[in-house]
Amino acid sequence: MIIGLGETGLSFARFLSRLPAEQQQPVVVMDDSPRPERVESLRQILPAAQVTAIDTEALCLANAAYVSPGVPLASASLKAARQAGIPLYGDVSLFGELAQAPIIGITGTNGKSTVTDLVNSIASRCMDGVRVGGNIGTPCLDILDDEARLYVLEVSSYQLELASSITCEVAVVLNLAPDHLDRYESLESYYETKLSIYRHCRSAVINRDLAATVPAISTPRVASFGVGSPDNEGALGMREAGGVVELTLAGQALLSSDEVLLQGNHNLLNIQAALATSWLMGFDMDAVLDVVRGYGGLPHRSQVVGRKAGVTYINDSKATNPAAMIAAVRGQANGRNIHLIAGGVTKSADFSQAAEELAAPVKSLHLIGESRDELRSAFEGYLLFEDVQLEKAVVHASELAEPGDVVLLAPGCASFDQFRDYVSRGIAFERFVEALL
């Protein structure tokens, strides 16, 4: 049984289709509302596969269930399957059993994709046979390759729920902040799921300022990153020097903030995490720093869309929780006024800290999407407008912005009330800005 016909569900189908003939078994895909184009894709992979709604009784008779990360393990059907002794496989857990090359596993609430992409760029400069995937881009089962020498995986908390025993050559938890509280019974449960990536790792990258206690790690091979500039081995840090921020390793300067394209304190921490990972992997540091200096980041993450009349338009559609919203605003403010576009689906998140910390730089707040009532209450006292639709918010914010200001899309929310995902939301923002420009 494959549970969920999203991108991961299709990757399960491709994996099962590649099994030797003697291991092939009938496949049933369960999804309560499969998209027609994905059903058609499934037909190209496994023509004989059946597609049905989720059926608890049938699921409990399966030989095995391959569970897409978007399907909660707490659902009644999966609970019943577990009680019936049906083996449940996630894509990352299965990948961890099959991969023959070392794995760098990167998780955290924010910054996962940027750090994964940067580490992949660094590793690809320093060695051959690097494969990247997981929660970023290509599903991990699609990058299994006998010729791979290193895998770089972005791993979500949903994927870790069934992959807590994965063995990573380097395990990285970038940060922890409230998110996905509509899925987890408590904040602690969400944090514990993230931190489980450390259980069987061979080396670890640790954020010294992590908002949770890191469990005991059996490996002595540890690197760290964070604020300050400690001089112990494997410690990445940052310090003020001559009006810029220096990034350091064991107290020694590596490069300064004016040498890199990524801006904002959150991105300097992301760079530190990539440097710490590189140090543990033994990569040549000169080559590593060369890659870091030229790295421009991923789309929809603090991306400059354009400028007009002295106003800068920034797309950070990937800021899908309050912590990411805070980081986006702080990263772009630097003495500039921010006209913030926010809203969508809150996922039961608490915005009180964001409202407290962003009052100074945010000169106008433009609410879109279904969460407007929650955000209006949280951001009481702000110059606030309920623009509802993204296009209206862009136009309205541009009318209020003055030379030197920033119009920033950093929603702090998921997108699926009005958009398919954060990418489609970011593309729409870019299209509306380009119409203005």
Sign of the dihedral defined by the CA atoms of residues 293, 278, 199, 69, in that order: positive
**Confidence (pLDDT) at 86:** 97
DSSP for 252-311 reads EEEEEGGG-S--SHHHHHHHHHHHHHHHHHT--HHHHHHHHHH----TTSSEEEEEETTE
The span from the first CA to the last CA of the chain, in angstroms, equals 50
pLDDT lower than 50: segments of the chain:
none
- Using DSSP's 3-state secondary structure scheme, residue 333 falls into helix
- Which tokens in the block code for residue 389? 């639709």
Nearby residues of 50 by Cβ (< 8 Å), 6 or more positions away:
26, 27, 28, 29
Q: Are 413 and 343 in contact (CB under 8 A)?
A: yes
Catalytic one of 110, 120, 135, 207? 135
**Confidence (pLDDT) at 218:** 82
Catalytic one of 110, 112, 270, 339? 112
- Which tokens in the block code for residue 13? 């189908």
**Confidence (pLDDT) at 238:** 97
The question of whether 347 is a catalytic residue gets the answer no
For residue 243, is it left (φ>0), alpha (ψ between -120 and 50) or beta? Answer: left
The question of whether 200 is a catalytic residue gets the answer no
Catalytic one of 110, 120, 175, 180? 180
Domains and CATH numbers, the chain: 2-89 (3.40.50.720), 93-294 (3.40.1190.10), 303-436 (3.90.190.20)
Strand positions, DSSP E, 108-198: 130-134, 150-154, 170-173
**Confidence (pLDDT) at 113:** 94
- Which tokens in the block code for residue 378? 């949280």
Closest CA to 205 of 327, 331, 111: 111
**Confidence (pLDDT) at 186:** 93
Give the Å distances, CA to CA, from 269 to 106, 108, 344, 366. Answer: 14, 12, 27, 29
The pTM (predicted TM-score) of the whole model is 0.89
Q: Give tens-digit pLDDT for 72-95.
A: 999 999 999 999 999 999 999 999
The question of whether 135 is a catalytic residue gets the answer yes
Q: Give tens-digit pLDDT for 260-306.
A: 988 888 999 999 999 999 999 999 999 999 999 999 888 899 888 99
**Cα–Cα distance between 273 and 417 in angstroms, integer?**
33
Secondary structure element (H or E) that encloses residue 427, with its range:
helix 422-436
